[in-house]
């Protein structure tokens, strides 16, 4: 179809056949209309091209006669040719021809080594028979993927980028780059469910194919491509991304099954550690050794409590969290839990008490960086006291979990860290207001607000307002809303609860109730 033919030089240059070509000048002519692609071994008045033709000059036989490039450019300009592609040249094309190409607005491209005839046929196929080019590239993708059954994700994404000669990348649900090239999504539309989307609102079209690893789940990844090419180039990119998304779904689902199997093994060993007795301690030591772990020396337990993620997501994010911990010097085991991760660090001698503060600061950097990278997640870490050997490991892991729960409950930030020795009286309070009795009391107190506000917007406002010492200005800053909005919400809450927030005891009661509801969410 005529509408599928590349109409300009710039669109023709999106061909994968020119992926290795270098543009040397004449950019002003990229919008010139293309009528045909012709092959020449010399370009002079005797072999003058027609208007609108792209000339492929096979320079293999012109030796070191660089001046012939100048002559070719002048002839192309006089004939109103569209572009000049020089291939198989044995010399560097210097500034002279580049400036001449820019002066004449004749796009000049260099392709150091190529089969000039095959190149010409391929460009003509793209110009006159887009479906033939389309089928050839798709066939190449299918052939290569069928031969790459053990390929990793990066290989597949790079292959699609090479075949489409466009920018292609794989991103996760938070739009973090997983493989390929970064693509700025901005406010552009992405595919939903298992559908495909092409957003044409920008200078370049944003193509996206959603990847859902299991029926009924949310989207886990998007395979993205960005192209400003012709209609044929857009259709080709769409086909390649759809085939690539199907292949990646199988690849990623297989990887998830392996990750879940590894996680179950780690979880089983951790549960044995937490429930161990002297009768089975030797067996547990063997299991620890088989996993490449160590519990000898002094162990410091850590626990990272994560809100906003289901167990499958916790497994998916395990590798990232482990890498972040290692970057901050926490190089021990890390095990998936229902609410996050547990782990420990082993050292040959007991760490000094003075080192606890620095440990907390390093852990705070870990969870802060993690939370900033995942907009829908909240992460708080707890650190236990150093304890010796396997029996001490149980105690420090329990302390770390307790510290993480308190760190999560005591403030409204999206991340934070606490050492069990820094919590003092908060541990006493936690033992009371995390009890079943207080949980029932908290829900009964706040039930009117919960019924009025199923999205928890009012409850969040009340919690932040109380944590900010009842300052509407400070609360508005934390919530990123206007202070008048905070004031109006607090009035609604006071009315529905029939409570006077000026009373210190009322404020304390509501603050503790908000905390325990957050713990149980």
pLDDT digits 0-9 by tens, 108-159 = 999 988 899 999 988 887 777 666 677 878 888 888 777 766 568 998 999 9
**Correct CATH for 131-253 of 3.30.450, 3.40.50, 3.90.930, 3.30.470:** 3.30.450
Alpha carbon distance 122, 132 (integer Å): 9
Instruction: List all residues 6 or more positions away from 33 whose beta carbon is below 8 Å from its beta carbon.
Output: 7, 8, 52, 82
What pLDDT is recorded for position 425?
47
8 A C-beta contact, residue 472 and residue 501: no
Relative to beta strand 53-58, strand 36-40 is: parallel
What is the CATH number assigned to the segment(s) 276-429? 3.30.70.270
| Buried/exposed 31-59: b ≥16 CB within 10 Å, e otherwise | ebebebbbbbebbeeeeebeebbbbbbbb
What pLDDT is recorded for position 428?
45
Q: How is domain 436-520 classified at the CATH fold level?
A: Arc Repressor Mutant, subunit A (1.10.10)
What pLDDT is recorded for position 15?
82
What is the CATH number assigned to the segment(s) 2-128? 3.40.1390.20
Domain ranges of the chain: 2-128, 131-253, 276-429, 436-520
8 A C-beta contact, residue 446 and residue 514: yes
Longest Cα separation, the chain: 99
Q: What is the pLDDT of residues 443-484, one digit of tens each?
A: 777 888 888 887 788 888 888 888 888 889 988 988 889 999
Tokens of 516: 């325990």
Which residues in the chain come in under a pLDDT of 70? Answer: 1-6, 129-132, 148-151, 194, 276-280, 409-412, 423-439, 441, 519-521
Alpha carbon distance 392, 301 (integer Å): 10
DSSP 234-259: HHHHHHHHHHHHHHHHHHHHHHHHHH
Helix (H) or strand (E) holding 221: strand 221-227
Is the pTM for the entire model greater than 0.75?
Answer: no
Beta bridge partners of 58: 87
Kindly give the residue spans of alpha helices, DSSP state H, lying in 199-330. Answer: 231-274, 281-290, 311-316, 318-327
User: Are both 2-128 and 276-429 of the same fold?
Assistant: no
């Amino acid at each position: 179809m005529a509408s599928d033919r590349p109409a300009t030089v710039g669109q023709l240059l999106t061909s994968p056949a020119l992926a290795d070509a270098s543009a040397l000048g004449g950019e002003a002519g990229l919008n010139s209309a293309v009528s045909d692609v012709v092959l020449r071994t010399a370009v002079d008045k005797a072999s003058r091209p027609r208007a609108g033709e792209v000339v492929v000059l096979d320079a293999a036989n012109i030796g070191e006669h660089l001046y012939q490039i100048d002559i070719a450019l002048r002839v192309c300009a006089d004939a109103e040719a569209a572009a000049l592609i020089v291939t198989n040249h044995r010399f560097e094309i210097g500034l002279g021809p580049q400036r001449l190409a820019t002066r004449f607005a004749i796009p000049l491209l260099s392709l150091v080594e190529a089969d000039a005839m095959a190149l010409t046929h391929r460009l003509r196929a793209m110009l006159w028979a887009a479906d033939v080019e389309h089928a050839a590239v798709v066939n190449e993708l299918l052939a290569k993927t069928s031969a790459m059954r053990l390929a990793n994700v990066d290989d597949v994404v790079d292959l699609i980028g090479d075949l489409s000669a466009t920018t292609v990348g794989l991103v996760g649900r938070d739009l973090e780059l997983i493989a390929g090239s970064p693509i700025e999504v901005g406010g552009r539309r992405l595919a939903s469910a298992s559908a495909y989307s092409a957003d044409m609102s920008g200078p370049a079209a944003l193509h996206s194919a959603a990847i859902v690893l299991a029926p009924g789940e949310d989207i886990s990844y998007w395979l993205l491509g960005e192209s400003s090419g012709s209609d044929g180039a857009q259709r080709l990119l769409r086909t390649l991304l759809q085939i690539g998304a199907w292949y990646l779904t199988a690849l990623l689902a297989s990887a998830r099954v392996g990750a879940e199997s590894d996680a179950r093994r780690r979880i089983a060993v951790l549960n044995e550690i937490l429930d161990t007795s002297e009768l089975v301690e030797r067996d547990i030591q063997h299991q620890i050794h088989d996993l490449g772990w160590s519990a000898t020396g002094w162990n410091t337990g850590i626990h990272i409590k994560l809100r906003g993620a289901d167990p499958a997501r916790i497994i998916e994010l395990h590798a990232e969290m482990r890498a972040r911990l290692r970057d901050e010097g926490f190089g021990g085991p890390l095990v998936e839990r229902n609410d996050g991760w547990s782990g420990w660090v082993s050292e040959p001698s007991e760490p000094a008490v003075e080192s606890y503060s620095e440990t907390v600061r390093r852990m705070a950097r870990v969870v802060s960086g993690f939370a900033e990278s995942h907009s829908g997640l909240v992460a708080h870490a707890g650190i236990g006291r150093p304890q010796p050997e396997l029996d001490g490991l149980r105690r420090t892991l329990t302390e770390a979990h307790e510290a993480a729960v308190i760190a999560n409950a005591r403030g409204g930030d999206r991340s934070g860290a606490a050492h069990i020795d820094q919590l003092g009286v908060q541990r006493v309070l936690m033992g009371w207001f995390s009890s079943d009795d207080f949980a029932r009391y908290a829900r009964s107190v706040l039930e009117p607000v919960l019924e009025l506000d199923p999205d928890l917007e009012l409850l969040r406002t009340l919690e932040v307002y109380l944590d900010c010492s009842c300052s509407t200005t400070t609360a508005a800053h934390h919530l990123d809303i206007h202070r008048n909005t905070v004031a109006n919400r607090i009035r609604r809450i006071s009315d529905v609860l029939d409570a006077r927030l000026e009373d210190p005891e009322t404020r304390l009661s509501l603050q503790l109730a908000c905390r325990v509801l957050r713990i149980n969410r």
